[in-house]
Amino acid sequence: MAATVTAPPAAEGVSRGRPEWLERAVGQALALLLALVIALVLGSVIIVLYGESPIDVYRAILEAATTAKDGPAWVLAAATPLIFSALAVSICFKGGLFNIGVEGQYLVAMVTAAWAALHLDGILPGPLLMWGVLVFGMLGGIAYAAVPGVLKVKTGAHEVVTTIMMNGIAVSLVAWALNGPLKYTNAPAGENVDLRTDIFPSNARVPELGHLLGFGPAPHLSWLFPMAVVAAVIVWFIVKRMRLGYEARAVGASAGSAQAGGISIGSVQVKLFLLSGALAGLVGMQQILSNNASSTGGGYLPQNYEATLGFTGIAVAFLGQNNPIGIVFAAIFWAALSRGESILPIETEMPREFVIILQGILIMSVVITYTLARRRLDRRQTGRVIAEEEAVHEPEPPPTIQEVTA
């Protein structure tokens, strides 16, 4: 997805008198609205075919996320890893790269973070341990993202295929760690424990946030959520205000022109991959340092960890239109829809998988409407620039080509 190039300051006396950025924002909002309408309409068709009422189904999903007990806390807790994941995907998109490997990067990061939580206990006192664990998670993600990044730059191996393969390797790496170096040692005697690491010291845990907002402890809403929002702001700052962000957007928009402009494409792409890996490293922290934490323990990494957050991050990045702040809202919206999954079989006759289909339709229509809207806006801008320069040529009529049928 090509990066949206920052709007140049609107020229004085533009034909319609509307600033260009406003026109762009309105156009993008309309595209999002259209995609939502398409998804809701197609979703309604499926619901009706199932013999249910669309209004009931949509209301059930909405209520699960909002008015139900601790609904918003569940949604924000579920949105937390999605924000990190989508940010990781989007930072690569900015440079025209597809990091499909966030999945593998966060799996490996959970292993390195778990190692740190179990081995740095005495070294990092008090709350420092938690920060150390987070840093080790990021380092794990960085190291694992470096491989496809370097391969891309040095050999040209397409990152989509290499990162997918790295995901497969990561699954085996986690299995190896849980069967070998990180296998639990402290299982209660005679009890059959599912394969997992030892329980982390309690100061590795990310503190709860939910009770400060009046929610119960069940959803495990933690300080990782505000951290994810801060991460989004940092990514926004990097992309919009820093040299790397500028270079990334240049490479993403047109690699050839960027190179001609003196930007080293390879160096930018490797940096983006490393940054992406750092963000990916935080995706798994919500589950191992908060969801799995109890009142006494600081969490653990189990064999049946929650997977596919990296892939969902791609969808959220598309929905958030690759914009860091948009991603925060997109992740919350996505998590709200997912929250409806559990309620559907209870409140209605719809299977819970309906939500996945709804999300799929939404993402498909969003991708199409965004691209069409952007193309339209670009064309209008080009037309305006041409008009401003008063470079008016008589456009040649397209040659009529006779169809030669086989």
Partner 1 sequence: MSKLGFAVSIAFTYFTIIYLTGIGGLFSERSGIVNIGLEGLMIIGTVTGSFGAYYFGAKLGWGVPAGPLMGLLLGLLCGAAFASIHALATVTFKIDHIVSGVVINLVAVGLARFLSTIFFGQATQSDPGQPHLHVISIPLLSKIPEFGLAFQGLSPVVLLPFLIVFPVWWVLYRTRWGLRLRSAGENPEATRSLGVAVAPLRWEGVLLSGAFAGLSGAFLSVEIVNNWREGQTLGLGFIALAALILSNWSPTRLLGAAFLFGFAQAIPLALRDWPIIRSIPPQFVNMTPYVVTIVVLAGFIGKVRPPAAAGRAYEGTTT
Nearer to partner 1, 243 or 375 (CB): 375
Q: How far is the CB of 279 from partner 1 (least distance, A)?
A: 18
The one-character DSSP state at 3 is: P
Q: How far is the CB of 398 from partner 1 (least distance, A)?
A: 7
Q: How far is the CB of 250 from partner 1 (least distance, A)?
A: 18
d(CA 373, CA 366): 10
Q: How far is the CB of 66 from partner 1 (least distance, A)?
A: 23
Q: What sign results for the dihedral spanned by CA atoms 266, 267, 270, 272?
A: negative
Would you mind telling me the total number of residues written for the chain in this entry?
A: 406
In three-state secondary structure terms, 196 is: strand
**CB burial of residue 29 (10 Å; 0-12, 13-18, 19+):** exposed
Nearer to partner 1, 136 or 354 (CB): 354
Angle made by CA atoms 358, 361, 366, in degrees to the nearest 5: 120
In three-state secondary structure terms, 185 is: coil
Residues making contact with partner 1 (CB under 8 A):
1-2, 98, 100, 151, 154-158, 160-162, 164-169, 172-173, 175-176, 179-180, 308, 311, 314-315, 318, 351-354, 356-357, 359-361, 363-364, 367-368, 371-372, 375, 398, 401-404, 406
Nearer to partner 1, 155 or 185 (CB): 155
User: Smallest Cα–Cα separation from 313: which of 163, 147, 195?
Assistant: 163
Nearer to partner 1, 65 or 111 (CB): 111
Nearer to partner 1, 14 or 151 (CB): 151
Q: How far is the CB of 144 from partner 1 (least distance, A)?
A: 13
Nearer to partner 1, 182 or 221 (CB): 182
User: Smallest Cα–Cα separation from 259: which of 18, 28, 130, 95?
Assistant: 95
Q: How far is the CB of 78 from partner 1 (least distance, A)?
A: 16
Nearer to partner 1, 227 or 363 (CB): 363
Q: How far is the CB of 112 from partner 1 (least distance, A)?
A: 16
The one-character DSSP state at 397 is: P
User: Smallest Cα–Cα separation from 302: which of 318, 317, 287?
Assistant: 287
User: Smallest Cα–Cα separation from 97: which of 273, 267, 263, 217?
Assistant: 273
